[in-house]
């Protein structure tokens, strides 16, 4: 029986007794004060949870279904106020057993984001830096993409978006398409060259187009 139910039951008994005595018991008893239920481990008399155990549980939960970098996990542990020593112990152990692998993370990120979103090496490197991946690891991962593959992906992006720009004037088409490639991390020179070629194949005269459209 919970404390609240016990208090309620005791009160009901008191009221019944008071009614049987003609109300004397109820009048003579002071009102009951409920004691709040314990809300923390300390209040419940339980020992504090081991920070290493906490760190391990947090990391396993975050890694379920979604690979993460060491820095992402370290930031999560810091946010939850896990002591640095406990966090370091768990993160190092997770690296030893392969649950944390920044190199594998970076390789998979490059593969997924290039083929899925068409991102160029520069944009991919920028994203990996924000996730705390080491610069050497980033360089190795983005080197998977050579210049020819990067340019082929850029051509496909332009071809895919070209139809949506039909009906716009020539300069605006150039700005929109080249700007799209620039946002995905493609070099300006490559972006302008590929867009000009695509427009020329549609019969557009690009000889006098601005060389700096964005």
Q: Identify whether residues 131 and 166 lie together within a single domain.
A: no
57: in domain: yes
188: in domain: yes
Say if pTM beats, i.e. exceeds, 0.85. no
8: in domain: no
pLDDT in tens, 147-183: 999 999 999 999 999 988 988 888 899 999 999 999 9
Domain of 157? 149-201
170: in domain: yes
Average pLDDT (22-41) is 44
pLDDT in tens, 85-114: 999 999 999 999 999 999 999 999 999 999
Q: Identify whether residues 87 and 110 lie together within a single domain.
A: no
Mean pLDDT over all residues of the chain?
81
Q: Identify whether residues 92 and 56 lie together within a single domain.
A: yes
Interaxial angle between packed helices 188-201 and 147-162, expressed in degrees from 0 to 180 and rounded to the nearest 10: 50
137: in domain: yes
* Sequence-separated (6 or more) residues with CB below 8 Å from residue 122: 185, 186, 187
Q: Identify whether residues 116 and 134 lie together within a single domain.
A: yes
Look at the chain and report how many structural domains it folds into.
Answer: 3
Task: Of 44-48, 167-171, 197-201, give the lowest mean pLDDT range.
Answer: 44-48
176: in domain: yes
């Amino acid at each position: 029986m919970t404390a609240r139910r016990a208090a309620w039951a005791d009160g009901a008994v008191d009221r019944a007794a008071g009614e049987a005595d003609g109300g004397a018991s109820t009048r003579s008893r002071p009102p009951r004060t409920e004691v709040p239920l314990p809300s923390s481990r300390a209040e419940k008399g339980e020992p504090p949870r081991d920070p290493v155990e906490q760190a391990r549980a947090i990391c396993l939960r975050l890694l379920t279904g979604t690979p993460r970098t060491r820095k992402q996990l370290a930031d999560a542990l810091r946010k939850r106020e896990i002591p640095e020593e406990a966090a370091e112990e768990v993160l190092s152990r997770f690296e030893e057993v392969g649950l944390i692998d920044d190199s594998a993370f970076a390789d998979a990120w490059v593969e997924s984001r290039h083929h899925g979103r068409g991102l160029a090496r520069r944009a991919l490197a920028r994203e990996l830096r924000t996730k705390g991946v080491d610069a050497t690891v980033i360089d190795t991962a983005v080197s998977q993409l050579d210049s020819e593959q990067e340019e082929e992906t850029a051509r496909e992006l332009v071809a895919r978006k070209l139809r949506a720009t039909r009906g716009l004037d020539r300069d605006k088409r150039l700005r929109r398409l080249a700007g799209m490639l620039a946002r995905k991390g493609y070099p300006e020179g490559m972006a302008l060259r590929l867009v000009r070629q695509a427009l020329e194949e549609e019969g557009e005269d690009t000889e006098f187009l601005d060389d700096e459209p964005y």
